[in-house]
Each structure stands twice: as C-alpha cells, then as structure tokens.
Amino acid sequence: MLDRKRIVWFILLRVLVISGLLAAIIIFGRQEAAAEGGLAVLARLVLATYLFSLLSLVALRYSRQFRTIIYAQIVWDVFLVTTLILVTGCVNSPYAFLYFLSIISASTLLSRSEAYYTASLCVILYGAILDFQYYGKLAPLGVSPVPAQQYGAGYIFYLIFLYSAFFLLTAYLAGSLAERARLSESALQEKAIDYQELERLNSSIVSTIDSGLLTVNQEGRIRVFNRYAELLTGILQTDAYDHPLAEVIPGLARFESEFCRPLQGEFQYTGADGEPMLLSFKSVPLTGQEGEPAGAVVDLHDLTQMRRMEGELKRADRLAAVGELSARMAHEIRNPLAAISGSVQLVALREWADEKDRRLFSIILRETDRLDGLLRDFLFYAKPTQPNKVALNLRRVIADLCSLLSTDPRLEGVRVENRVPEGLVVVFDKDQCSQIFWNLLVNGAEAISGDGVIEIEAALLRGQGSGAGDPDQVRISVRDTGSGMSGAQVKRVFEPFFTTKKGGTGLGLATVYRIVETHGGRITVSSLEGEGTTVTLFLPAETRAEG
Ligand code: ADP
Ligand code: MG
C-alpha cells in the first residue's frame, strides 16, 4: 500500500506548507526570527528542504525503496521542526505544533508503531530543547536561557509533560484512524478484485455455453444475447441489443407476458436460411437489488434436429416391422408361385392346347416370372444376407460383370468403359459387390436410349477426414450419358418402390444403398436432366494388394 503517488503528494504538500510557513514568518513573525540572523538560517533551511524534496522525488522515480524514502522524509521533517523551534526562541516558539504534523504523516504513510516512534522522537527532541535552553546549554547557538528560566522549572516540566502526552495521544489516534482507513481500503480493493473476476468468469461462461442465452429487461428489450443465440437465430448481437424481444424473435412474443414466473415451451422459428426450425425455451424471472422484477433470462435450444430424428426413428421402426412382415409374406407367395409356374408349363405341353391357349400360358409364365423376380428383389432388400467381406480386385469384378452383361439386350448400343485402375482393392462381399454394379449398370443402360457410354472410374482416397487414424476409402463413380433425372427424382431414388419405369420394381437403388451402408460406405447421386447421371460410391479400401 506504499504507493508512489501518495509519497509524491506528501512531498509536494510539505513543500507547500514550508513555503507558506516561510511567507508567514517573513510577514508576521519577523521580530522573533530576525533575532540573531534567524531569518537567514530559516531561509537556508527552507532551501535545503526544497533540495531534499527534489532529491526525494528523483529517488522515488528510480528506486522502489519506498519505506526508506518515507523514513527519510519523517526524520527530515522532525529535524526541520526542531531547527525551526530553535531558531524561533525555543520555549517561546509557536511552532512546536508542527511536530504533530510529522506524527500524523508517519501514521498515515507508515503504520501505528512508526507513529509511536516518531512521537517518542518528538518527545525526546522537544524535551531536550527546553531542558537545554533552561540550563543554558544552547547559548552557543545563540539561544538565551532567560525566557525559560523566567517561566521556572515547574512550568518547563509541565510544558514538556503536556506536549509529550499530546504527541503520544496524537500517535495513538492518528495511528488507529489510519489503520482503520487502510483496512477498509484493502477490503474495498479485495472486493473490487472479486467483482472483476466474477464479471470475467460470468462473461466467459455466457459466451462459451452451448445454449442460446438472452436476457430482457422490464421493457422487454434484449440486453444479453450470447454467441450461441447468434448461431441459433442467425441474428447478430449488435442487431439484437436493446431491440424488443417480440421484434427479434417473434415466436417468443406470446410468452412474454408470462415471463414473471418460470416458464418453458416451444415455438417455431424461421432460420436465417429460411428453413423452419423448432426452438425450445426456458425462462426464469430476473429480480433487481430490492427484489423488484427486472426482466427475465431466456435459454434457447434447437429441437429441429431432435424432432426430425425422433420422427425418422419412429418411421424406421415402423418400416422394420412392416419389412419383417412383408418379407415373410413374399417368401410364402414364392412357393405357390413356383407351383403355378411348374403346373402351367406342364399343361402347356398337352396336345389339346391350341395356339391361343399357348399364348395365354406364356403370359402366365412371363408374369409369374416377373412376380418371382420382384419377390426375389424384395426379399433381398428386406432381408439382406450377412456380408462375407473379402479383399476384391475392383477392376476384375467389373470386367467379369461386363462380359456377363454383354449378351443382355438392355445393354445394346451401350459401351461400358472400365477405367478402374489395376490393383485397387476394396473390402466387400463378392456377390453383393457384383449386385451393386449390376444394378448401377442396368439403370444406366435403361436410361440410355440408342447409343451411349457408361464410364466407371475409381480412385484411392487416403485417410480422408480430419482424424489421423481415418481409414482409406475408394471412390468409385459410375457415369452414364442417359436421360438424367430431375432434382425431385434424385431426392427419391433410394426410396424402396420408387420407380419411373413401366416394369420397374424400384428396389435396385434401395438395395444398393442398403448394401453400401452395411459395408460402412456412402453413396451419392448427382444428375442433370438430359445430360446423364453420376452415382458416386465411397467404399472401404484395403491398402495391401489382393492375395
Ligand atoms: P428401377 O430400376 O426398378 O426403376 P431403381 O431403384 O433401380 O428402380 O431406380 C429407381 C429410379 O431411379 C428409376 O426408376 C429411375 O427413374 C431412376 N434412375 C436410377 N438410375 C438412373 C440413371 N442412371 N439415370 C436416370 N434415372 C435413373
Ligand atoms: Mg434399377
């Protein structure tokens, strides 16, 4: 607490006091001081004090020994007062009271014990001056013992006693007052520090918390609007601050009148990108220092994603149940279907069947075949077999498929370009891998009317993503120059039973999606109407070469 500023003030104050004193002595006290060249001594003394003050200020500038500097000031002051008293007639000097100032400065600048030391020093010095004067010991200094002796020993003793008592009393009073002031000052400082820390803590919590926090005042104007609230609402804090809540977040307007009690609810909000959002809020009333209402704190959360996921989960659940049931049904239908198709084939061989009958039989056979195909696709989709993952040479798998498909009428006029690099290996179930590319190639070929090209490209992507241990992937794209699809169609291609074809089952891409998913892969489709379609697959790679 020994701060530089206070010491500087003290020194300046002393310069002021001493200057005032000098002026007062020159004007009013000339006679007493003028005796025996006292004025000259006084002038020198004041000059020395100026010099000393200047030196002290310089020392203060370059040193941190505050305590030593203060000791020097106090000692200098006491010395100054003593000299002043000597010069102005000792027992008759009116300046003994200046000792009090020294004692008070010691108590304010240092501590209570230092105030006592200073008081004791003053007692000794003042007592010595009076005694020495009385016994004529100060004659060499030009101080006459006569005034003191005129007063008599009793009075001198009384004077010394009185001053001593008052010096000590001053030390006691000033010391305890200063002590008390120091204590309350330090308590205040501590409190100020606590407030600052609290404030910092508070603001960092508010800004980093992962929930949208805002406060409104009694007039319904927004005061706090944290970073997450900005993220949620897409509104900047600067745009929200001091604006009415009902204007910034209209969905909350109807709850505002009830903010006087804890409240929670949900409301619709249109995000910055125009997407509808579902936000939940919790509000707690705020109170002022006297317990009067002062607005509310509102905590916002985004429920959109959660609600969507809930809905998807419910739907998936339902679909799983329906899938299970229908798979069983499909299985049951396939058995009688096989019987029907077998019987019709036998009947068709009978002699009595004429041309017309045979044509009807062939329709029955074709349709039962189609039905069987649909059921097979469906069963595969609804109940995929557990994949037997092995390392597959992708280029070879596709080459085999191409030769198998070369006789297929759907691929007439379609050139398939296998651009998969040699040595690229994926970890996949062999049959399911063939099935994926079979479905994709057939789709591509069906989208091409007349002549066209289907290109298959692949590349190894090493450690994709941010994590260091991310697995390698193979990116495969199947691009055709077919009719392409509209945006709405692209969104639905993976839906089971979505088809735009007359005899289509709409299970091809749904099955591909499911297979890719069970292998931990990813699939995307991009398409331009009239230009063609690109299906891109990301499959787990096997970095070591296939055995
Ligand atoms: P299906 O082939 O039985 O119709 P899919 O699941 O294989 O069923 O395909 C669903 C639908 O997606 C198709 O009916 C078609 O409209 C569209 N589609 C799929 N692949 C392509 C493609 N390569 N080009 C254009 N449209 C496609
Ligand atoms: Mg298909």
Instruction: Give me the residue spans of the domains in the chain.
Output: 4-189, 209-303, 311-382, 389-542
The CATH code belonging to domain 209-303 is 3.30.450.20
- Which parts of the chain sit beneath pLDDT 50? 466-467, 545-547
Burial class (CB in 10 A: 0-12, 13-18, 19+), 334: middle
User: What is the reported pTM?
Assistant: 0.47
| pLDDT of amino acid 523 | 92
Residue 455 alpha carbon to ligand 1 centre in Å: 17
Residue 455 alpha carbon to ligand 2 centre in Å: 17
| pLDDT of amino acid 547 | 38
- Alpha carbons 72 and 63: distance in angstroms, whole number: 14
Ligand nearest to the backbone CA of 495 = 1
Examine domains 209-303 and 311-382 and report if their fold is the same.
no
- Alpha carbons 308 and 324: distance in angstroms, whole number: 24
Phi/psi at 393 (5° precision): -80, 105
285-303 residue pLDDT tens: 999 888 888 999 999 999 9
| pLDDT of amino acid 86 | 85
Spell out the CATH class of 311-382: mainly alpha
| pLDDT of amino acid 546 | 42
Q: Of ligand 1's atoms, which has the minimum distance to the CA of residue 506?
A: 8
Q: Is the dihedral of CA 417, 422, 424, 430 positive or negative?
A: positive
| pLDDT of amino acid 166 | 94
Question: For a substitution probing ligand 1, which of 499, 535, 537 has the most ligand atoms within 8 Å of its CB?
Answer: 499
- Alpha carbons 72 and 329: distance in angstroms, whole number: 108
Residue 491 alpha carbon to ligand 2 centre in Å: 16
- Alpha carbons 155 and 177: distance in angstroms, whole number: 32
CA nearest neighbour of 404 among 390, 394, 416: 416
DSSP annotation string for 382-399: HSPPPP-EEEEEHHHHHH
For residue 438, give every residue at least 6 positions away whose Cβ sits within 8 Å of its Cβ, in sequence order, or none: 401, 405
Where b means 16+ CB within 10 Å and e means fewer, 132-159 reads bbbeeebeeeebebeebeebeeeebeeb
The CATH code belonging to domain 389-542 is 3.30.565.10
